[in-house]
Chains A and B, each alone.
Chain A
Amino acid sequence: MTNKTKAKAYWKENIRYLLILLTIWFMVSFCAGILLKDALNEIKIGGFKLGFWFAQQGAMYVFVILIFVYVRLMNKLDKKYGYDE
């Protein structure tokens, strides 16, 4: 692989990761916490209505996990393409 095609392939995989992770980001916050809140509030876990829980707790937990997953994925990707240092 030339440097240019290598860089292109790396970028393409990176974008794919971004799209997947940002979709989850959108789902837990804007979908579960806002748009579908009323429907999810019908379900109760302990004292929490589920929609309320996503908006005030769940979304934030997932955000943290998402970044660490991204860090892992990218570290692996860097290794695969020899960009790690």
Chain B
Amino acid sequence: MNNLLFIDGLGVQNWTYIIVGITFAIYIGIAIYTRAGSTKEFYVAGGGVSPLANGMATAADWMSAASFISMAGIISFAGYDGAVYLMGWTGGYVLLALLLAPYLRKFGKFTVPDFIGDRYYSNTARLVGVVCALLVSFTYVAGQMRGVGLVFSRFLEVDINTGVIIGMVIVLFYAVLGGMKGITYTQVAQYCVLIFAFMVPAIFISIQMTGNPIPQLGFGSTLADGSGTYLLDKLDGLSTDLGFAEYTEGTKSMVDVFAITLALMVGTAGLPHVIVRFFTVKKVKDARKSAGLALLLIALLFTAAPAVAVFARTNMIETVSNQPYASMPEWFKKWESTGLLSFTDKNNDGLIQYLADEKTNELVIDNDIMVLANPEIANLPDWVIALVAAGALAAALSTAAGLLLVISASVSHDLIKKMINPDISEKGELIAARLAATVAVCVAGYFGINPPGFVAATVALAFGLAAASFFPAIILGIFYKKMNKEGAVAGMVVGILVMLFYMTKFKFGWFGGGEKTDWWFGISPEGFGSVAMILNFVVSIVVMKFTPETPEEVQEIVENIRIPSGVGEATEH
């Protein structure tokens, strides 16, 4: 297949420089063209984004380095259990579209802590909101920078730290200059790049393995070799032969799968960088529609990911299992040098034994390889491999930019303008926003270069915290007009603290630590967000019953939120 095109002679490296270079030039061009001139443009892109553009931007904002690089890989190792991410990260959009987006758009403010502070008529509530938003966004953004560094180091063969710094400069440039307006239109471009980069190899491999060009159908089809065996049956067989669980069965307990799925769903609906995207459209109607479009565009990748997982896993097992180490293809050696793939010949027979049993298993494979190396494993042309690199960068950069905006708005708008110095001028606030974004990029870059050992744990923590804090507070704020500030604040504080306690206890061994058998109700730290969320609801309602009622004028605001007409532009204050 390498002679498919003459220009293939360029090689992977040059192709990567060309494609990544072109996409970066596009992002920078858009940023210069759409730079923000007012705080309203900086925070909510002026409030006039079309539903389709917002849908695309939301999709790119949402699909991170984790969705693009890691998810299919995780699924290919987890089998059925991978469904927690698939359902969890898409099902949240149903909640977002039906329960949050239209009402928050009607409310018409700039940030999530803004809603919390105004709806619960209290700066304490606003401060709790700011702390949650910062906590959630910082934990999330570190992982994105790490993803950027990983892609640079593997595909452009620069040092991983140099990679992180290049990524920082690019994001800094368009997030600081363009604010939400710049981010929105670069995200539209990034969506196109990332979906194309994900689908092209998926389609190629689907045709190769099953003869069906639609990956979503391909992984339920029979093999292209004419044997009449279904691909999934074959993979189930391969997995059990090597001592793994059947691919379509998984190993997690049902209660844990349930809890994790729920936590990821409500966490998604409570993530500030996603919610804030719905402040950028013109009308309530547009907010609903763009939530639908966003999910449609996300589902394109999310329904293909489990197919890619099955293709990659089958290919991987067939390429390495019981094959001589000496005859491994070039990509194997390349990935070994990054440390993401490692082989130790325990029984000295020169063959690779890839088994479930840790004692005899000789091959350790990192999740992240599955998507990045997939085109190489399947012998696809060089430009496809380069495209994957550009797609992974688009996914990481778009999410990082969205998160940085939340961080900068929380500081300049919620902390400075709303709490510390209300008299700040429009110009001063804009400068503060840009400074905050710059500092945030540097902090994120620092964590990208010196990744704390707990990055993986903190992403789960970000969802848990969003589920335990924002989701109940916003839902009650809209659907329960009697909910007062005491209830909401108590609920959020208890939710966050319990979540932090559980996560640190079982992930870092604080408070005496604990094993899997000590989990409450058999629920893992990843799934505990759903318990913390329920606790938040209960505490909020109980505290509300014993504290002064919500003022009449606030109740009227809530009634007004529920009616879609009469939306002002996102209010300036």
Which residues of A approach B to under 8 Å, CB–CB? Answer: 7, 10-11, 14, 18, 21-22, 25, 29-30, 33-35, 37, 41, 45-49, 52-53, 55-57, 59-61, 63-64, 66-68, 70-71, 74-75, 78, 82-85
Q: How far is the CB of A66 from chain B (nearest CB, A)?
A: 6
User: B306 to chain A: which residues have CB within 8 Å?
Assistant: 56-57
Q: How far is the CB of B194 from chain A (nearest CB, A)?
A: 18
User: Are B288 and A70 in contact (CB-based, < 8 A)?
Assistant: yes
Pick from A59, A63, A84: contact of B285, CB under 8 Å: A84
User: Are B82 and A56 in contact (CB-based, < 8 A)?
Assistant: yes
Q: A21-B94, A21-B98, A70-B98 are in contact. List 4 more A-B contacts (CB 8 A).
A: A47-B233, A52-B80, A60-B302, A74-B564
Quick check: is B187 within 8 A (CB to CB) of the other chain?
no
Digit string of B61-93 for contact with A (CB within 8 Å is 1, else 0)? Answer: 000000000000001000010110011001101
Q: How far is the CB of B94 from chain A (nearest CB, A)?
A: 5
User: Are A48 and B220 in contact (CB-based, < 8 A)?
Assistant: yes
User: Are B285 and A75 in contact (CB-based, < 8 A)?
Assistant: yes
User: Are A47 and B231 in contact (CB-based, < 8 A)?
Assistant: yes
User: B121 to chain A: which residues have CB within 8 Å?
Assistant: none
Known contacts A52-B80, A64-B292: A83-B563 contact under CB 8 Å: yes
User: B54 to chain A: which residues have CB within 8 Å?
Assistant: none
User: A75 to chain B: which residues have CB within 8 Å?
Assistant: 285
Nearest residue, chain A, Cβ from B254? A34
User: B393 to chain A: which residues have CB within 8 Å?
Assistant: none
Known contacts A18-B99, A57-B303, A63-B90: A7-B285 contact under CB 8 Å: no
User: Are A25 and B94 in contact (CB-based, < 8 A)?
Assistant: yes
Known contacts A7-B559, A67-B97, A85-B565: A33-B83 contact under CB 8 Å: yes
User: B93 to chain A: which residues have CB within 8 Å?
Assistant: 63, 67
User: B367 to chain A: which residues have CB within 8 Å?
Assistant: none
Q: How far is the CB of A37 from chain B (nearest CB, A)?
A: 8
User: A55 to chain B: which residues have CB within 8 Å?
Assistant: 80, 83, 86-87
The 4 closest A-B pairs by CB, nearest first: A47-B230, A55-B83, A67-B292, A47-B220
User: Are B219 and A59 in contact (CB-based, < 8 A)?
Assistant: no
User: Are B285 and A78 in contact (CB-based, < 8 A)?
Assistant: yes
Q: How far is the CB of A1 from chain B (nearest CB, A)?
A: 13
A48 to B102, CA, bound (A): 37
Q: How far is the CB of A35 from chain B (nearest CB, A)?
A: 7
User: Are B564 and A70 in contact (CB-based, < 8 A)?
Assistant: no
A10 to B284, CA, bound (A): 15
Q: How far is the CB of B530 from chain A (nearest CB, A)?
A: 11
User: Are B261 and A34 in contact (CB-based, < 8 A)?
Assistant: yes
Known contacts A11-B562, A64-B295, A78-B564: A56-B86 contact under CB 8 Å: yes
User: Are B248 and A52 in contact (CB-based, < 8 A)?
Assistant: yes
Known contacts A7-B559, A83-B565: A46-B299 contact under CB 8 Å: no
Pick from B86, B97, B99, B221: contact of A60, CB under 8 Å: B86
Report the contact-size class of chain B (Cβ under 8 Å from the partner): 35 or more
Nearest residue, chain B, Cβ from A44? B230
Which residues of B approach A to under 8 Å, CB–CB? Answer: 75, 80, 82-83, 86-87, 90-91, 93-94, 97-99, 102, 216, 219-222, 230-233, 248, 254, 257-258, 261-262, 283, 285, 288-289, 291-292, 295-296, 299, 302-303, 306, 559, 562-567
User: Are A59 and B91 in contact (CB-based, < 8 A)?
Assistant: yes
User: Are B87 and A60 in contact (CB-based, < 8 A)?
Assistant: yes
A11 to B289, CA, bound (A): 19
User: A30 to chain B: which residues have CB within 8 Å?
Assistant: 258, 261-262
A71 to B379, CA, bound (A): 44
User: A66 to chain B: which residues have CB within 8 Å?
Assistant: 94
A-B contact pairs, 26 of them (CB 8 A): A10-B562, A18-B98, A21-B94, A30-B261, A34-B83, A34-B257, A34-B258, A34-B261, A47-B219, A47-B220, A47-B230, A47-B231, A49-B232, A55-B83, A55-B87, A56-B75, A57-B303, A57-B306, A59-B86, A60-B302, A63-B91, A63-B93, A67-B288, A67-B291, A74-B285, A75-B285
Q: How far is the CB of B121 from chain A (nearest CB, A)?
A: 22
User: B262 to chain A: which residues have CB within 8 Å?
Assistant: 30
User: Are A29 and B98 in contact (CB-based, < 8 A)?
Assistant: no
A21 to B483, CA, bound (A): 25
User: Are A67 and B295 in contact (CB-based, < 8 A)?
Assistant: yes
Most buried by A among B83, B233, B306: B83
User: B257 to chain A: which residues have CB within 8 Å?
Assistant: 34
Q: How far is the CB of B300 from chain A (nearest CB, A)?
A: 10
A59 to B292, CA, bound (A): 15
Q: How far is the CB of B377 from chain A (nearest CB, A)?
A: 21
Q: How far is the CB of B531 from chain A (nearest CB, A)?
A: 16
